[in-house]
Amino acid sequence: MSRSRTIAATAILLATASLLAAPTNARAESHATARGPATAAWATIITGTVTDQRSGLPLPGAQVIIIGTTTGAMTDDKGQYRIPGVPAGTVRLRVRLLGYGLVERTVTVQDGTPAVVNFTLSTSPLALDAVVVTGTPGGTQVREIGNAVGRIDAAEIARTSPSVNVQQVIGQRDPGVIVQPAAGMVGAGSAIRIRGTSSLSLTNQPIIYVDGVRIDNSASAGPAIRQGRTASRLNDFNPEDIESIEIIKGPAAATLYGTEASNGVIQILTKRGKSGAPRLDVTLRTGTNYMKDPEERFRYTYGKNPNTAQVDSFNIFDYYKQLTGKSIFTNGQLGNVDGSVSGGSDAARYFASANYGVNHGIVDYNWENTAGTRLNLSLLPSAKWKLDTYLNYSQNETRFAQAADGFGIWDMLVWSSPSLLNTPTKGFRYANPDIAGQIDSRSKVSRFTGGVDLRYQPTSWLTQQLKVGDDNGQTTNQVLFPRVPFGDVNFFGARSGGEKTLEAVTTTFNTLDYAATAKTEVHKISTATSAGAQYYRKQVSLVSAVGSNFATPDITTIGGAASTSSGETFVENKTLGMYVQEVLGFSNRLFITGAVRGDANSAFGSDFKAAYYPKLSASWVVSEEPFFQPYTGRINSLKLRGAWGEAGQQPDVFAALRLYAPQTGPGGVPVVTPSSFGNPALRPERGKELEVGFDLGLFNDRTTLTYTHYNKTTTDAIVLAPNRPSTGFPGSTVQNLGKVRNWGNELGLNVNVLNGQRVGWDFGVNYATAGNVVDDLGGVILQSARVGYPVGGIFFQRIATADFSPTGSLINVTCESAGGAPPQSCSTAPQVYWGNSTPTWWGSVTNSVTLFEKLRLGANIDFQGGFHQVDGDVAFGHTTFQNSAKVYGAPDPIFAAYQTVIPRLGLGYFDAGFAKLRELSASYQLPSTLAGRTGAQTASVTAAWRNVMTLWQAQHDIWGTRIFDSETRVPGSSELGFTYQTVIPPTSQIVLTVRMSY
Amino acid sequence: MSTPSLFRSRSARVGLVLAAQLLTACQGVLDVSLPGNVSASALDAPSLAPTLVDGTQADFECAFTQYVESTALWSNEVLNASGGAEVVGWSARFTRPEAGTAQCPTVTSNRGQFTPYLPLQVARGQAEFALTKLNAFTDAQVPGRSLLIARAALYDGFSYVMLSEGYCQVAVDNGPLLTPVQGLALAEKQFTDAITAAKAAGSSGTAILNAALVGRARVRIELGNKPGADADAIQIPAGFVYTATYATAPVRRRNTTMEDINLKFHLSVAPAYRGLTVGGIADPRVIASDAKRVGIDAVTPEWIQGKYTAPDSPLPLATWDEAQLIMAEAEGGQGAVDAINRLRTKYNLPQYTGGTPAEIMTQIIEERRRTLWLDGHQISDHLRFNIPFATGVDQKGVRYNNETCIPLPLSELTGRP
């Protein structure tokens, strides 16, 4: 309490001081505004249409204003605008729309004579005058921001790509951002990484906002299945509802988000209504999910015939087809209907949508049903007030393809063996595909996300904004193993009697965010003074029940089980943060921003009161300086930027406390057991980052280049120092002992190669490099991290020597020592560094060709490299399950030593670099006459293909066993995991989309 | 720019009032609920002393079954029939440096757990935490305090026994590492305390008293104090059994020794324990049967045990049987023959006729192997009696390591002077 009061008092004092500075200058600004444009006389009206230069389509939502006044209008759904009450004379109009270059035009209007002024906008990735709302109080023009801001035009991507969820929309479309691949089943999600990984022990997942409301960013939701929970809560949102996505990438940009923002921030901005007649948009999507060429990509598996001892081999896919006449995998169908209606007046606007989708995976028991609805309202009762509300409700149900503990379809395949042909599993491991389908792992989610955004501008210089939001999810997870009928082989091991696990998870995220900004301008110097306070509360409660052993296969309720157990957990965290920020602008070209934020958090230890995060950044639009004018013919825009700032990463919510956990004791009595050692001095990790870069526009922005270099140092990095077991406490003690350095470069190049009406060609490249090193662990020795090596380094013992004796026994087996010392016995040898598990370079290449304004062809390539993974499927095929060719091939003493002497995962280690043709698409805008036959004003058809083919693979096999897909990854729940095992590899999709607007 | 101009602005005044309200509202704004855990300070209440001792018992009982099945695999009472890397490694007596840091399982896993070290240390820590509290309380504050002290000391003593018998070194809190002999001495002290407190508790402490006597006899025989061991063992009434208790639910309360062999098929009874007889009569102390299936590794023939029949079957911790074997070892000669025959009579087996002292000792070792099968004694017997551990490769071709005692995990050794 005292710490929160300390912060509150500090922030209020600073805020008060900042507000004191405003009135005098505000009067000056008001005076200037009152002068209005020159040569005022009788009023008239300006109307016109704003269209896209390439497609000729109308552009709704463009802001048209008369420069030097507050007079303006927004284009409606037909791209039309209307500005009444314009005094006769010469005025200069400015048109601004996100993703397009700003256009200005001088117009002379006559007394009482309406003027028609049409605008054609060209896309511009730089868009220095676009407004960014993430990381800035209330919104700021790009030109003022000293850090890189990633912006994704989600509406455009949804229109032209096969992306069926939010994570696919984000993809690898912005430099420095990776959405890790999800397992190859519908409903699976994955983690997002921005600028690599920097936390040793905490999450490396960015925090996520939707329209300013903090949401559950879990990438490890859903039931506990093989290798972890694999659903992402981000995918509960409908991509069709999203207008754009803003990404800020590190502490330098995310200081105002304080504790928890060190990994960056993603803000999703949903669509809003535009004034005009109701506009109905309908999107129909159909397609298929499939596993590309499994028979060809999957290796032969080997095994010894138990009767003849002869080594046999077979392709399990071919064998199953011969046996049953059907394929193991099917083509899963997907279908989605999305409708929205939007419109309104200048005083009230609305956007309402509803969607329903059914998505089937590559086995018939993997499916996902999604349904959702959204209502966004904007009310402008007066020039001073604006109220936006965002209401979203979604209900999704997913049945996953994988199960717990070795009974999923992929487990059965990868460790199949001819030696099992005459067993009840018919060559598969553990069970067979028909049995796998009996396990029912599913998740049902009902989620409400809503917010109210109240903006009050009492004077021209002061803006206040209050946001209140709630994100509430109700999830039911289930994993059901039905009882195996009597007489059958016990396919499900300990669960053969049947077992059902149910979990009811309730997540609640509350957001309260207040910001006030006072702006002044004297001569050519502008100031923007902001102060704000944010309060977040997170609650996660989980109630679980397990029932084991059913009397018959038909009984599947927990109450019907012979033995039952239950559990409940509750986690709560609260953050109170306050900040002040000052932006100084000079001639609207040079901007300097300083800010400080203070945070108190319920997870901090009792000995630590508050964390303070400073920030300083500068932005200079060099191309608008007078001295630069001789060069503007080629370099039409150049912005230099630099930012330094800090942000935090909060520790686990109760890690500071010494705790005992309840358990069941003898005779069922309640007891407690030691659970957490605690650390009263616990404080957040601190990320300090310096980023510098430039945004360059050449040839009228037909070529744009953005570059950013960053250096980030994480101090007080939380190290999970293992408790000595003899302390009597399990697990680890969370201590602020570590230090990690990250660095990297991000490059974005977009070239408008051809800009004709017949042929247009846009070409883009995103490329990022990232590195990191652990500088300090406070003397703690961890298996997963070492000083001098990257976060997420792979450490195993490594065989140095091995030979066969004349009788074939392994002899002279030694393992490498640390620091170049001579090899030693593997019983005592340390684990040594093998490689980095996170990509050190990655990017994407995009191509878009537009023909005759109607047909757009697109192709995206993603690539990643400079890292390694461990394929557990291969490793255990070489060892435990003995089903690889190498096992039965020419004896190799090193291989044999790995098989028998040390932990075997080294036999699955491989260079995981790859390049994939991620998307191919063709989108055709139907002629208006054709569209009109359906009653639509516009209509388009898009055919798109996702995960088309692998173009390059750094390594193709591991000790002779083919790697099925280098892109397979550990699901989201494993932060720094590098060993994947029995995860279904990514699948492909073909999607046909029809869009109609009425 | 002046203060009056600020207060003429209604919005500024409203802002200041709101800020003042916010400051007031900050009181308690970061307080959070913690309904699922107990802070250490909350356990200072005397009324919770029984809960602490019950917790000690629960922690020990979970650790004990982990220890029993882990050492059974280590000392080849059972075979590895699992595909899990942990099982394979442990079976080959290859411990990963981080092994030993896993807690008692709380959810069903399809693979066995072979890391009893942390659960044993948690049980020991819990016992000593409870004893510290109990010694600070008065009899008036805690009804039945002596019995509670006796119970906590008993489980503390047995925790030390397991930590000393199985492991190469003994760690206690942050002190210097001890030898197994020093660890056994600490166990003896705890058993002595338990005996004292149990006697003070009167008739309600009889079971604890006998269990502590068996425990102390076990320690004393291992420390070479044969008279002391004999003196304790001889006091144990016929048929006495003190067990660690288990239940079918929750998972943490299950007898994992039974489960991992008979239900999960991760372990298979080793050939040396199949079909044992005495004079042609099936030995009822070692019941193994062919499950007519393979283990979870799909390779190893699965033989299940019949000593523990369900996940809630108790495991014997201190028994008259063991006391007889301790007496046999302590007394030797005819005393040993008599002790063996008392056991054989109990199990309706032919009488043992005796032999040379060496033969009698060999027979005592064999009787221990059978009588105390799957009771957590074999690793100690291997080490004490120099019984060779398995060498070469196992039935799946996995090469055995040359460890004998179990090394402490890296987390226990790191940073020690």
Instruction: Give the Cα separation of A673 and B126 in Å (integer).
Output: 7
Q: What residue type is A176 in one-letter code?
A: G
- Give residue A156's pLDDT band: very low, low, confident or very high (50, 70, 90): confident
On whether any CB of chain A is under 8 Å from the CB of B225, the answer is no
Is B22's CB within 8 Å of A406's CB? no
Is A722's CB within 8 Å of B12's CB? no
Contact A605, A654 (CB under 8 A): no
Contact A416, A301 (CB under 8 A): yes
pLDDT (0 to 100) of residue A489: 55
The residues in A 248-277 lying below 8 A from B, measured between CB atoms, are: none
On whether any CB of chain B is under 8 Å from the CB of A876, the answer is yes
Are β-strands A868-871 and A979-980 bridged in parallel, bridged antiparallel, or unpaired? parallel
Instruction: Give the Cα separation of A365 and A558 in Å (integer).
Output: 22
On whether any CB of chain A is under 8 Å from the CB of B28, the answer is yes
b/e map A225-264, b = 16+ CB within 10 Å: bbbbbbbbbbbbbbbbbbbbbbbbbbbbbbbbbbbbbbbb
Question: DSSP per residue over B27-46, as a string?
Answer: TTTT----TT-EEGGGGG-G
What DSSP designation does A982 have? S
Contacting residues of B for A535, CB less than 8 Å apart: 29
Alpha helices (H) in A258-335, listed in sequence order: 294-297, 316-324
pLDDT (0 to 100) of residue B9: 53
| CA–CA min distance B25, chain A (Å) | 9
Among A283, A288, A294, A287, CA closest to A317: A294
The residues in A 812-871 lying below 8 A from B, measured between CB atoms, are: 827, 831
pLDDT (0 to 100) of residue A17: 42
CA distances from A230 to A543, A974, A983, B371 (A): 19, 10, 10, 48
Alpha helices (H) in A92-240, listed in sequence order: 154-160, 166-170
- In tens, the pLDDT along A723-732 reads 889 999 988 8
Phi, then psi, of A25 in degrees rounded to 5: -65, -35
How confident is the model over A42-67, as a mean pLDDT?
82
Identify the weakest region by mean pLDDT among A2-16, A202-216, B263-277.
A2-16
On whether any CB of chain B is under 8 Å from the CB of A495, the answer is yes
Instruction: Tell me which residue has tokens 């490396």.
Output: A204
Q: Is the dihedral of CA B150, B156, B160, B163 positive or negative?
A: positive
Instruction: Give the Cα separation of A460 and B214 in Å (integer).
Output: 88
For A660, the closest of B37, B110, B111 (CB atoms) is: B37
Predicted TM-score of the model (pTM): 0.81
Is B108's CB within 8 Å of A723's CB? no
Among B362, B294, B379, CA closest to B76: B379
Q: What residue type is B353 in one-letter code?
A: T
- Beta partners for residue A342, in sequence order: A279, A351
A568 or B139, higher pLDDT: B139
Among A292, A54, A114, A259, CA closest to A947: A292
- In a mutational test of the B interface, the residue from A660, A811, A979 whose CB has the highest number of chain B CBs within 10 Å is A660
Confidence check: pLDDT of B63 > 90 = yes
Among A112, A122, A92, CA closest to A104: A92
- In tens, the pLDDT along A637-679 reads 999 999 999 999 888 778 888 899 989 999 999 999 999 888 8
Q: Is the dihedral of CA A688, A511, A972, A769 positive or negative?
A: negative
Question: DSSP per residue over A214-237, as a string?
Answer: E----SSBSS--TTS--B-GGGGS
Q: Is the dihedral of CA A485, A486, A491, A497 positive or negative?
A: positive
A22 or B192, higher pLDDT: B192
Torsion from C-alpha of A969, A971, A975, A981, nearest 10 degrees: -60
- Give residue A408's pLDDT band: very low, low, confident or very high (50, 70, 90): confident
- Give residue A866's pLDDT band: very low, low, confident or very high (50, 70, 90): very high
On whether any CB of chain A is under 8 Å from the CB of B264, the answer is yes
What DSSP designation does A840 have? S
Q: For every residue of A766-778, which 3-state class applies, written as one string?
A: EEEEEEEEEEECC
For B121, the closest of A4, A658, A725 (CB atoms) is: A725
On whether any CB of chain B is under 8 Å from the CB of A324, the answer is no
Contact A610, A599 (CB under 8 A): yes
Compare all CA atoms of chain A with the CA of B172 and give the residue at the minimum distance.
A726
Contacting residues of B for A669, CB less than 8 Å apart: 51, 54
On whether any CB of chain A is under 8 Å from the CB of B334, the answer is no
What DSSP designation does A880 have? T
On whether any CB of chain A is under 8 Å from the CB of B23, the answer is yes
On whether any CB of chain B is under 8 Å from the CB of A731, the answer is yes
On whether any CB of chain A is under 8 Å from the CB of B281, the answer is no
pLDDT (0 to 100) of residue A383: 82
CA distances from A173 to A151, A152, A743, A860 (A): 9, 7, 20, 9
Instruction: Give the Cα separation of B48 and B358 in Å (integer).
Output: 53
Instruction: Name B279's Cβ contacts closer than 8 Å, sequence gap at least 6.
Output: B349, B350
- Beta partners for residue A359, in sequence order: A334, A368
- Give residue B11's pLDDT band: very low, low, confident or very high (50, 70, 90): low
Are β-strands B78-80 and B267-269 bridged in parallel, bridged antiparallel, or unpaired? antiparallel
pLDDT (0 to 100) of residue B13: 58
- Beta partners for residue A768, in sequence order: A746, A842
On whether any CB of chain A is under 8 Å from the CB of B31, the answer is yes
Alpha helices (H) in B75-179, listed in sequence order: 85-91, 117-136, 145-166
What DSSP designation does A401 have? S
Burial class (CB in 10 A: 0-12, 13-18, 19+), A635: middle
Token pair belonging to B50: 């029984």
Q: What residue type is B300 in one-letter code?
A: T
Identify the weakest region by mean pLDDT among A4-8, A155-159, A774-778, B31-35.
A4-8
On whether any CB of chain A is under 8 Å from the CB of B380, the answer is no
Instruction: Name A929's Cβ contacts closer than 8 Å, sequence gap at least 6.
Output: none
Compare all CA atoms of chain B with the CA of A663 and give the residue at the minimum distance.
B55
For B32, the closest of A490, A572, A671 (CB atoms) is: A572
On whether any CB of chain A is under 8 Å from the CB of B353, the answer is no
Contacting residues of B for A16, CB less than 8 Å apart: 16, 19
The residues in A 505-534 lying below 8 A from B, measured between CB atoms, are: 516, 533
pLDDT (0 to 100) of residue A972: 59
- In a mutational test of the A interface, the residue from B11, B300, B312, B416 whose CB has the highest number of chain A CBs within 10 Å is B11
Token pair belonging to A510: 């509350």
Confidence check: pLDDT of B331 > 60 = yes
- Give residue B319's pLDDT band: very low, low, confident or very high (50, 70, 90): very high
Is B122's CB within 8 Å of A674's CB? yes
For A725, the closest of B11, B88, B412 (CB atoms) is: B412
Compare all CA atoms of chain B with the CA of A875 and give the residue at the minimum distance.
B85
- What's the length of chain B? 417
Is A405's CB within 8 Å of B94's CB? no
Contacting residues of A for B265, CB less than 8 Å apart: 490, 493
b/e map B269-281, b = 16+ CB within 10 Å: bbeebeebebeee
Is A668's CB within 8 Å of B298's CB? no
Q: What percent of chain A has pLDDT above 70?
A: 93
Contacting residues of A for B19, CB less than 8 Å apart: 8, 12, 15-16
The residues in B 136-195 lying below 8 A from A, measured between CB atoms, are: 171-174
What DSSP designation does A122 have? -
Contacting residues of A for B259, CB less than 8 Å apart: 494
- Give residue B109's pLDDT band: very low, low, confident or very high (50, 70, 90): low
Contacting residues of B for A406, CB less than 8 Å apart: 83, 110
Among A70, A43, A125, A44, CA closest to A766: A125
For A4, the closest of B11, B16, B26 (CB atoms) is: B26
Is A8's CB within 8 Å of B26's CB? yes
Identify the weakest region by mean pLDDT among A49-63, A549-563, B72-86, B365-379.
A49-63
Phi, then psi, of A436 in degrees rounded to 5: -60, -35
How confident is the model over A924-945, as a mean pLDDT?
90
Contact A480, A448 (CB under 8 A): no
Instruction: Tell me the pLDDT of chain A averaged across its residues.
Output: 87
On whether any CB of chain A is under 8 Å from the CB of B24, the answer is no
Instruction: Give the Cα separation of A239 and A170 in Å (integer).
Output: 10
Is B54's CB within 8 Å of A601's CB? no
What DSSP designation does B326 have? H
Are β-strands A103-109 and A43-52 bridged in parallel, bridged antiparallel, or unpaired? unpaired
On whether any CB of chain B is under 8 Å from the CB of A458, the answer is yes
Compare all CA atoms of chain A with the CA of B393 and give the residue at the minimum distance.
A900
ipTM of the complex: 0.89
**Which H helix or E strand runs over A253?**
helix A251-254
- Beta partners for residue A455, in sequence order: A386, A465
pLDDT (0 to 100) of residue A30: 33
Instruction: Name A588's Cβ contacts closer than 8 Å, sequence gap at least 6.
Output: A143, A524, A526, A621, A624
Peptide bond into B250 cis (omega under 30): yes
Is A657's CB within 8 Å of B6's CB? no
Contact A159, A921 (CB under 8 A): no
Identify the weakest region by mean pLDDT among A297-306, A534-543, A869-878.
A297-306
Question: DSSP per residue over A341-377, as a string?
Answer: EEEE-SSEEEEEEEEEEEEE-SSTT-EEEEEEEEEEE
What DSSP designation does A113 have? -
Among A864, A868, A835, CA closest to A951: A864
Q: What residue type is B394 in one-letter code?
A: D
Token pair belonging to B205: 């402490």
pLDDT (0 to 100) of residue A609: 80
Is A827's CB within 8 Å of B403's CB? yes
Is B55's CB within 8 Å of A665's CB? yes
Contact B261, B269 (CB under 8 A): yes
pLDDT (0 to 100) of residue A1: 40
Instruction: Give the Cα separation of A689 and A643 in Å (integer).
Output: 8
Chain centroid to Cα A594, Å, comes to: 28
On whether any CB of chain B is under 8 Å from the CB of A659, the answer is yes
Is B83's CB within 8 Å of A876's CB? yes
Compare all CA atoms of chain A with the CA of B27 and give the residue at the minimum distance.
A1
On whether any CB of chain A is under 8 Å from the CB of B128, the answer is yes
- In tens, the pLDDT along A455-510 reads 999 988 999 999 999 999 999 999 999 888 654 556 777 788 899 999 999 999 99
For B61, the closest of A568, A666, A675 (CB atoms) is: A666
